[in-house]
Structure 1
Amino acid sequence: MLISAMGIYAPFWMMVLGGCHRQHRGLGFLSVSTRSVVSDKRGMATGIAIMGFGGGAMIGSPLAAELMKYFATPTEVGVWQTFAVMGVLYIVAMLCGAFGYRIPASGWKPEGWKQPVAQGANAMITHGHVHVNKVWGIPQFWLVWMVLTMNVSAGIGVIGASPMPQRGFRRKPDRCRRKIRLDKTQLTAIAGVAAGFAALLSLFNIVGRFFWASLSDKLGRKMTYTLFFLLGGVLYFSIPASAGSANKLMFVGAFCVILSMYGGSFSTVPAYLADLFGTQMVGAIHGRLLTAWATAGIIGPVVVNYMREYQLGLGIPREQVYNQTMYILVGMLVVGLICNLLVRPVADKYFMSDAELAEERRLAHDRAKAGEVGKSHEAFYASSSLTVALAWAAVGIPLAWGVYRTLLSAAKFFH
């Protein structure tokens, strides 16, 4: 069953605002809650919601730049005015997103929907539900934790190595080792290359979140991650050769596909967890799994920076310092591939009994009723055509503007 526009609106915009301001202390809470409210067509649904996280930066960054230009004066750069305007926009959009949530009745299913048969691509989908307190002792949780850690560490490592195109795709090292002073025009051109390249990566990161997660509904989550590691390993390995041969198309293509898989890993893993551990407590389980993201945020940059400084100390030309790093990242992908291949369906002993599940659902219903959170599923699907059209416009117009600005910036890279 396809998701209605009102269903997309709330998690999408909550994730957009998280992506606009990633240093916010509430980011972890926002991220987990919005990724875990959707479960039908799990891959596609989480992919759409998490597109908002990447889209936030794509919309927020150019918007902030435009606002600062508008408010700039000879004595001020317009920072506080920009923050004030964006703060108001955040409040309005966040409230609309929050009030757009709908909580279905306990045990509710879409009309005509049937539980997928556990075979083929759906072999990992469970009919049971694991309590969050048990997840730490389940091997599959730690295997998926390692899968996400290795994939994200490698992805962050590639992002850290993204200055490679600014080196000019030299075919041979500069043996003269002369310091060259660049004029303002040349510095501007280099900055344009860097901005265009970053914009292109951002766009593929966002598209990958929807594409790979949707594809996982067909291939299965385990097979999708296997593809991430195998295809990613080949592309990482090819980067030094394409950079050394000045093959810009091959070099940029590899980076773009890699970043699409980096984004895709985030949007696929909530569905992976729901398949393995059930949907009742997937939000809480997902929150625990995201410690892998935090770990990868340390491992990726440390490896890239250490290898860069180490190789510079050996006298290796700057345009070649990331070559060995790519091979190390391939090793990380191999570790992730092994962990992914070891994932098996969760044993029955870890699932809640019918009585335990009924009690958890009763408690969840009581908490929702006491807090007057959301409305029934009937109200969710009774939205008027005008409301649906406005919801799609609220999502589509800002995103289209962000894509347009990103493509303008990316075009400079190929000039």
Structure 2
Amino acid sequence: MSSPPVAPPGWSRWLVPPAALSVHLSIGQAYAWSVFKPPLESALHLDGTQSALPFQLAIVMLGLSAAFGGTLVERNGPRWAMTVALVCFSSGFLISALGAQTQQYWLIVLGYGFVGGIGLGIGYISPVSTLMKWFPDRPGMATGIAIMGFGGGALIASPWSAQMLESFGTDHSGIALAFLVHGLAYAVFMTLGVLLVRVPRPDGRTESGTGAAGGVQVSARSALRTPQFWFLWVVLCTNVTAGIGILEKAAPMITDFFADSSTPVSVSAAAGFVALLSAANMTGRIGWSSTSDLIGRKNIYRVYLGVGALMYLALALFGDTSKPLFVLCALVVLSFYGGGFATVPAYLKDLFGTYQVGAIHGRLLTAWSTAGVLGPLIVNWIADRQEAAGKDGPALYGLSFSIMIGLLLVGFVANELIRPVHTRHHVPAPKEAPDAQREQPA
């Protein structure tokens, strides 16, 4: 498919973030998969591990497709990428609808997990470089607007999906109809982004600031050879691990911390706590990333990692003494978690320029995949071992919180070690860009 049409004279750059947001709000449905777990378990006689498989595969495919498809996204443009995301994500729901109707669970795994997961990855990175070309003056804000949609998509999808299941029924036919409506509705909504997206004119004023300071432009292949990429990989991985450590086990964690208090946390209150964390995750994406445009990317990651470590320390030492303190510390950590996702594309732009930043971003997201395994593993494995040893309450989490503090300090040091990219990695001149795009050494 051809690249998107170039914006005509007078085109407002503020039409581009809504185009990106239409894709990210749609694929953000992935965080609402849990709504479908109980009906699927009941209708298709699955256990909890089986019902989680489509989501787990989708996240794996998100990381893989972002890493391996990033260069294609850069080469073919945002409209091509958004179209691929639309086709894969919507088709995933349609295949899942067929699987639910015929009670063939492997089709749901194939559809939502494999096909839909490819749509997640391509859709996630599709608008990144385009947004930063339109907003060279505020790249953190621009990417934060779009990536906020991925964090907030579940806030729309959860009640919407629950209402559909209530209306259509929770048997296999009702689930199939809900999947069908999802696939068609998201196709229409994502089409708005496909039609709206534009790239700036080469001679336009917004394009003049495309590169980082000093005209830095680095190819994706060359970026992987720099220490800056790997330091930033460690930074993202440790920040995400710390956030997921709370997010994945939020409800049982706050229940355990105050189980022996005079006012234990109810099931509904724990659910409200999870909703608050989701809101912090979403608002942190736009708030902190916009702040990074004012104070700089290295400084904002000093806040994420340094203050994040202090929040974990406060939880470990005083978390069981005050519910407001526990909630406040967790909300701050989750806002840093979301902010880290939204700020990292702008950090990449500062280091490597916008030339192949989408492809570089896709490769960096393997840090997310690693953290997605590491965070829950640390917290759950240690909690299980402590429980087996006869401990309960806050004692279940003391060691895992200490590990999180250590990881955040490792990330803090990695951030301090990031320096400007050496000129030997730069693309020599714009006319050599096609050679670099074929990933010849710069």
Q: What does residue 367 of structure 1 align with?
A: none
More helix by share: 2
Secondary structure at the aligned position of 1:25 is classed as helix
Equivalent in 6, 24, 29 of residue 15 of structure 1: 24
Structure 1: gaps (5+ residues): 117-123, 174-185, 364-415
1:34-77 CA distance string (max 9 Å, x none): 2332111100000001011011111111110111122238x778
| 2:290 is the counterpart of 1:193 | no
In the alignment, residue 284 of structure 2 is paired with which amino acid?
A: G
Q: Provide the rounded CA distance (Å) in 2 between the counterparts of 1:9 and 1:361.
A: 31
**Contact 1:126 1:276 (8 Å CA) reproduced:** no
Tell whether 2:152 aligns with 1:143: no
Q: Could you tell me which residue of structure 1 aligns to residue 144 of structure 2?
A: 47
- Mapped contact 1:232–1:258 kept (Cα < 8 A): yes
**Counterpart-to-counterpart distance in 1, 2:210 and 2:200:** 17
Distance apart, 1:269 and its partner CA: 0.2
Query: 1:32 pairs with 114, 125, 128, which one?
Result: 125
* The one of 81, 99, 109 aligned to 2:177: 81
Percentage of matched positions with identical amino acids: 38
Post-superposition shift, 1:318? Answer: 4.1
**Equivalent position SS for 2:130:** coil
Cα separation, partners in 2 of 1:25 and 1:305, compared to 1, 3 Å: same
Secondary structure of the structure 2 residue equivalent to 1:38: helix
**Preserved contact between residue 126 and residue 277 of structure 1 (Cα < 8 Å):** no
In 2, the alpha carbon distance for the partners of 1:138 and 1:362 equals 17
How far, CA to CA, are the matches of 2:309 and 2:424 in structure 1? 36
Q: Is the contact made by 1:128 and 1:278 (CA closer than 8 Å) also made in structure 2? A: yes
Q: C-alpha distance in 2, partners of 1:154/1:58?
A: 22
Q: Distance in 2 between matches of 1:267 and 1:299?
A: 21
Taking structure 1 as reference, are residues 293 and 281 closer, same or farther at Cα in structure 2, changes over 3 Å only? same
Deviations for 1:390-415, whole angstroms, at most 9, x for unmatched residues?
A: xxxxxxxxxxxxxxxxxxxxxxxxxx
The TM-score, its normalising length taken from structure 1, stands at 0.76
Scaled by the length of structure 2, the TM-score of the pair is 0.71
Equivalent residue number for residue 392 of structure 2? 317
Unaligned runs of 5+ in 2: 1-10, 32-57, 59-115
2: CA distance between counterparts of 1:336 and 1:100?
A: 38
SS for the counterpart of 1:251 is helix
1:233 equivalent in alignment to 2:309: yes
SS of the residue corresponding to residue 36 of structure 1 reads helix
Q: Name the SS for the 2:242 alignment partner.
A: helix
* Aligned counterparts of 1:211 and 1:344: Cα–Cα separation in 2: 25
Aligned mates of 1:48, 1:235 — CA distance in 2: 26
Larger radius of gyration: 1
SS at match of 1:80: helix
The 1-side partners of 2:318 and 2:260 are apart by 10
Pair 1:103 & 2:196 matched: no
Q: Give the distance between the partners of 2:144 and 2:340, measured in 1 at CA.
A: 10
Work out the CA distance in 2 between the residues paired with 1:351 and 1:107: 22
Q: CA deviation at 1:357?
A: 4.2
Q: CA deviation at 1:195?
A: 1.5
Residues of 2 paired with 1:133 and 1:47: CA distance? 26
What's the offset of the Cα at 1:339? 0.2
Q: Structure 1 residues 115, 59: closer, same or farther in 2, change over 3 A?
A: closer
Structure 1 contact 212–264 (Cα < 8 Å) conserved? yes
Could you give the per-residue CA deviations for residues 74-102 of structure 1, whole angstroms, max 9, x where no partner exists?
A: x7783222222222210101111111110
Q: Following the alignment from structure 2 to structure 1, what is the Cα–Cα distance between the partners of residues 203 and 237?
A: 33
Contact 2:220-2:359 within 8 A present in 1 as well: yes
Counterpart mapping for 1:169-318 below 5 A: 169-170=258-259, 190-245=266-321, 247-318=322-393
- Alignment map for 1:147-162 (pairs within 5 Å): 147-162=235-250
Deviation at 1:315, TM superposition (A): 1.5
Change (3 A) 1:108 1:147: same
- Cα displacement (A) at 1:359: 3.8
What is aligned with 2:417?
342
Deviations 1:359-396 (A, max 9, x none): 46999xxxxxxxxxxxxxxxxxxxxxxxxxxxxxxxxx
Partner of residue 91, structure 1? 187
Residue of structure 1 equivalent to 2:66:
none
Shift of 1:167: 2.8
Q: CA 1:276 to 1:126, structure 2 compared with 1: closer, same or farther past 3 Å?
A: farther
Moved more, 273-282 or 130-139: 130-139
The number of aligned residues is 339
* Whole-angstrom distance in 2 between the partners of 1:337 and 1:3: 38
Q: Report SS of the residue matched to 1:331.
A: helix
Partners in 2 of 1:358 and 1:137 — Cα distance?
18
Shift of the 90–353 alpha-carbon distance from structure 1 to 2, 3 Å rule, reads same
- Aligned with 2:253 (options 164, 181, 203): 164
Displacement of 1:261: 0.5
One-letter amino acid of the structure 2 residue matched with residue 148 of structure 1: L
More off after superposition, 137-146 vs 62-71:
62-71
How far does residue 325 in structure 1 lie from its aligned partner after superposition? 1.2
| Whole-angstrom CA distance in 2 between matches of 1:328 and 1:294 | 19
Give the structure 2 partner of residue 67 of structure 1: 164
Any conservation in 1 of the 2:129–2:356 contact (CA below 8 Å)? Answer: no
Q: Deviations over 1:291-314 (max 9, x none)?
A: 111111111111112211221122
Q: Distance in 1 between matches of 2:434 and 2:375?
A: 42
CA deviation vs aligned residue, 1:147-170 (integer Å, no higher than 9, x gap): 001111111112234122223614
Query: Residue by residue, what CA displacement relative to the aligned partner does 1:109-137 show, whole Å, maximum 9, x if unpaired?
Result: 339x7689xxxxxxx84522001121121
How far apart are residue 33 of structure 1 and its match?
Answer: 1.2
